[in-house]
């Protein structure tokens, strides 16, 4: 079985941003950036698709930054396949959930190698980017625990 490997650049813009702003002005909450979007480049006035994978977590963080620049108050919610952020993930005898995670601790855990590259690491890096760009808090959880995470009784809450 063959697997194609393509570039995974960080996004630099969100083409649909004006549409997202229009929805927000109408008090409609858009669900955005799942899957990261279709990677394109500008060729003159046209957009051309390119072979790449856009990271959904960094796309979400970029959206947050753009909304803050437009004076929106924003929190970031990252939905994933686990109920919260874990240290020693997969090591059943040592694994434990982190209900609250500071920006400083997150950076330290990254240096210590606690988060896996294709799994939680991009989510934590995206959360750090968001917090460093004036997001109040970042919530990380699974769809099943979303309501409890909003209430503060599940998931991981990241803060400055």
Most confident range (mean pLDDT) of 12-16, 55-59, 86-90 is 12-16
Give the E-state strand segments of the chain in sequence order.
Answer: 40-43, 46-49, 76-79, 85-87, 96-98, 100-102, 137-141, 156-159
pLDDT of residue 120: 92
pLDDT band at 58 (very low <50, low <70, confident <90, very high): confident
- Inform me whether the pLDDT recorded for 36 exceeds 80: no
Q: Specify which residues 41 forms β-bridges with.
A: 48
> Which domains are seen in the chain, by residue range?
17-159 (3.40.1160.10)
Angle at 70 between CA 40 and CA 27, to 5 degrees: 90
pTM of the model: 0.81
Residue 122: name the closest of 13, 41, 36 by CA: 36
Contact criterion met (CB below 8 Å) for 135 and 68? yes
């Amino acid at each position: 079985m063959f697997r194609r490997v393509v570039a995974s650049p960080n996004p630099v813009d969100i083409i649909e941003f004006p549409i997202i702003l229009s929805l927000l002005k109408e008090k409609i909450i858009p669900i955005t950036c799942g899957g990261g979007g279709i990677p394109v480049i500008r060729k003159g006035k046209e957009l051309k698709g390119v072979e790449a994978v856009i990271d959904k977590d960094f796309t979400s963080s970029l959206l947050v930054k753009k909304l803050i620049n437009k004076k929106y108050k924003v929190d970031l919610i990252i939905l994933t396949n686990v109920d919260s952020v874990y240290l020693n993930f997969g090591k059943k005898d040592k694994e434990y959930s982190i209900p609250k995670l500071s920006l400083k601790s997150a950076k330290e855990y990254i240096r210590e190698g606690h988060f896996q590259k294709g799994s939680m690491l991009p989510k934590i890096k995206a959360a750090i980017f968001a917090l460093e760009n004036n997001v109040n808090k970042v919530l990380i959880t699974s769809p099943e625990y979303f309501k409890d995470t909003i209430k503060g009784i599940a998931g991981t809450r990241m803060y400055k």
